[in-house]
Each structure stands twice: as structure tokens, then as C-alpha cells.
Structure 1
Amino acid sequence: MTQFIIDQSFWNLFPQAKIGVLLLQNYHNSDQSSQEIAQLLEDSLPLAQAHLTEDIFSDNPVIQVYRKAYQQFKTKKGARSSIKALLKRVSGNNPVRSINPLVDIYNAASLRYALPVGAEDLDTFVGNLQLTITEGGDEFYLIGDDTNQPTLPGELCYKDQAGAVCRCFNWRDGERTMITDQTKNAFLVIELLDIERLDALQEALNFIEEAAQQYLQAETRQFILDHANPHISLN
């Protein structure tokens, strides 16, 4: 039985965190989003502005939470939460381009609820998936790069028996486990570090789940993990 396990080393840093997980099975993917999915993404841009209330971008609370979190573990230079990258585009009135149906759906949720969301091809995992502080040296190939860039000692990452899956929370996905047009089964994760925003986590999970069911005909399972419930079956 393959599991997703959140290691104690993570809880030592973030004891109050909640990790939302959505498993999609047998979903219908393609290389281009439908008009309806594209509209979901477009409609999310003005909604994201509601999270940007400060004149200085880095002073916004949703940015500060993850900025401070990244100071708690070893990171590569330039590592930042995926939600910071998305909201930075919004603050500069830059478009968030369409990638594929599933990515567009979860990016729409990320923008609406100001939470980092990531996804991996569930069928590519080798053994259990862990969220853990690594000892370093885990094999990792960035998307589009043929040079191994192993993890650092003390880095927080998602990893399986073959190496790193995603580094520094949702900063960088690896090519081995990335979502593609051929993906049929997906693992989605949302990282909540501000416990006062638990409602936003639940709403984001529901948004993705309902859109995946409606537009991708996905079979879904939803979970929220915490220190008391740190693992789930991926089968």
C-alpha cells in the first residue's frame, strides 16, 4: 500500500499546519483547456486582488506567512512559495497563462483563496511519498533540465524512493512526476500555515474537487492532514 506521509521533522517546524490533499483518479485530460476552464482562471484574477491590501507587496499577510515559513528551513537561492509567484503577477497586472486543464483549475483556486497549490502525477511515485526535512542528496531534475540538482541538507521537500518530487514546499516541481497531457491520476496538495484560514483551505479543496468532477469527470477523494493525522493511503 502506497502512502503519503508527513514526517515528524515537518511538524517540528509547523506544528499547527494543515495539509489539504485531493486525489483525482481516471480524469479526462487534454493539452488545452476548455472555454469554461479558461474562464475560471480569468475570473480568478480580480478575486486575487482582494488579498493584496498593502501598498508594498511583501507586506501583505498572505505573503508574509510563507515568507517567514521559508526562513525555517534550508532553501535554494530564490526559492519562494508558488502563491507569491502567482500573486506577484496579479499585482503587476500580468496574465497568468493557461497551461493545461488541471493546472488551470488549481491555479484558479490558488488565486481565489491565496493558498499554494501543487500537483503531481500519482502514477509516477516510487514507493511512499513523504513531506520531510531531507538529509540532502536526493536526485532532482528540474522540468526541462537534464542536470541533476540534488536537494540540500535541511531542505523541506516532497520525496519518494527515487528522489525529490517537489522542493521547498511548492517551489519547484521535478520533471519525473510532473502533470502532463497523459496524466490520468493526480495528487494535489495545499499547504496551510495560518490556522485562522482553515475555511479558505476547505473552500479551495471544494472548488478544485467540484471543477475536476464537472470538467474533467474525475473520481475524487479529499483529505485534510494534521499532526494527529499525518498520513493517508494513495491507493
Structure 2
Amino acid sequence: MEQKFIATSAFWELFPEAEIAVLFADNVSNQSYGKIPKDLLKQANDHAVKWVEEDPISANPVIKDWRQAYQKFKTKKGARCAVENLLKRAKQQKGVGAINPIVDIYNSVSLEWAFPVAGEDRDFLQGNLELTLAKGGEKFVPISEDSTEEALAGEVVYKDAKSVISRCWAWRDSARIQVTEETKNLIFYMENINPKRKADHNQAVQLLQKRLKDYLGIEASAVLITKERPEISF
């Protein structure tokens, strides 16, 4: 059954210059670290510090971009873009640790290029995947938690036909479709909200594709979602 990735008009009204790289990979194996360097995450954490050299952390341009974006919609108190959380840990020398091969690869790219990257198990998606504004009350169960939350009206979310997949745009992902060692079919998305970073964004996407192929033999196709091209079928 055909599914779609759709960024709705309500999203583009808030962020007309955003771009979202969407990547797909099929029939993967996530049970071996293959050729992944043992120090991949350490090097990525060390590299990440260059993005957050200023104090406080909110003074750094990549953090400021996302802080300003989060002021445009309803958010849960204290919610920050996932990339801020990663960079903050690197700055505090509490670097991001290993989770599983695919997650480690996309976290390494996120750290090195300062873009949020999410990976999801496509087999657990129900219907279309939408980037949109919540009506309010949509259910969400965060990774590593048992409690059920509800999205706020006007909150930017990723959702499918069943529930919210990511709250506060790029803050936290759902446990229901998280990437595990058993994952076979994947969808990734990497967001950019600063038009001046288009070249960086493109290089980050290419690095993610390269590392997936070089380290795990995974071929990942990529499509760029923009206001002019707001949806794709998969």
C-alpha cells in the first residue's frame, strides 16, 4: 500500500524556507557494527564542540536558530531541538554514547554537522507520515518512558494515522517506531531551517548516505522536501 511523507500547508506557513531531507533504506541489518570505527562517536562528540563554543549555549548561531523557531509554535515547557541536546552533552563532555549501529551513525552526523537527524522503523508506520501542526490531544509515548503524553494544539509534530511520532518538531521521538536491532526498513529525516546552511545540509545528507554504505552496506536514497515539493510517495 502506497504511503506518503507530507509536510502540510500549516507547517509551511510557519517555516516557508525550511527543507527536510528524507532518506529511505530497505532490507537492512542492524545487528552488527560491521566496519563502524570504534571511536566514531568519540570523534563526533569532539568535533561537535566547535558549534557551541560560546557561552551561554543559546548564544551560538545553530542553537539560536532553533530557539527562535521554537518560539513560533506551542511547545512543552523546556522542550529543545534534539540537536541542541546532543551539542550540549558534547560541550559538557558528557558525550552521546552507543545505542545501536544505525542510530550511532546518524547521531555521529548530527553531532558533526549540527542538524537534527531522526531515524524511524518504517514497518511500524501506519498510513502517511505528516509534518504538521497538532490539533491537540494526539497521543505520544516517548522513547524510554511508559507514560502517555498529549500534543498541544498548534504544536509542530510528526504523526501518522495512529499517533504522534515526534513531539515539538525535532525534540523527542516515539517508542513505537524507534530503530532497534530488529529494524529492517527505515526512514530518516534531517531538517534545516537556515537558508544560509543549504550547502552544509547537503553535505550532511551525503555523509549520512556514505557512512551507512561504507560501514553497514546500506544504500539510502534521499529526497528533499520543500515548500515547492511538500510530499513524496514511498
Band of TM-score, shorter chain: over 0.9
Identity %: 39
Matched residue type, 1:180: T
| Equivalences for residues 1-235 of structure 1 within 5 A | 1-30=2-31, 33-34=33-34, 36-234=36-234
Partner SS for 1:130: strand
SS at match of 1:222: strand
CA offset at residue 218 of structure 1?
A: 1.6
- My pick for the range that moved more, 50-59 or 121-130, is 50-59
Task: Give the drift of 1:10.
Answer: 0.7
- What is the Cα deviation at residue 56 of structure 1? 2.2
Superposed displacement of residue 146, structure 1: 3.0
In structure 2, the gaps of 5 or more residues are none
Q: Retained in 2: the 8 A contact 1:122–1:187?
A: yes
Quote the Cα distance in structure 2 between the aligned partners of 1:37 and 1:7: 39
Q: Deviations over 1:12-43 (max 9, x none)?
A: 0000111111111111102x645634422222
8 A Cα contact 1:37 1:101, kept in partner: no
What residue identity is the alignment partner of 1:168?
C
Paired AA for residue 129 in structure 1: L
Amino acid at match of 2:23: L
Structure 1 gap ranges (5+): none
Question: Deviation per CA, 1:123-178, whole angstroms, max 9, x where unpaired?
Answer: 11100000000101212112233332121111110001001011111211111111
Give the match's secondary structure for 1:223. Answer: strand
Asked if 1 retains the 8 angstrom alpha-carbon contact of 2:35 and 2:215, the reply is no
Q: CA RMSD of the aligned region, Å?
A: 1.4
Question: Normalising by structure 1, what TM-score?
Answer: 0.95
Contact 1:133 1:156 (8 Å CA) reproduced: yes
CA-CA distance at 1:230 after TM superposition: 0.6
Please, which moves more after superposition, 51-60 or 10-19?
51-60
The count of corresponding residues between Structure 1 and Structure 2 is 233
Contact 1:26-1:219 at 8 Å conserved across structures: no
Contact 1:38 1:98 in 2 (8 A): no
After superposing on structure 2, the runs of 4+ consecutive aligned residues of structure 1 that deviate more than 6 Å are: none
Structure-2-length-normalised TM-score: 0.95
Describe the SS at the equivalent of 1:27: coil
- Structure 1, 136-145 or 202-211: larger mean CA deviation: 136-145
SS at match of 1:72: coil
Contact 1:7 1:132 in 2 (8 A): yes
What SS does the aligned partner of 2:65 have? Answer: helix
Aligned 8 A contact 1:136 1:153 in 2: yes
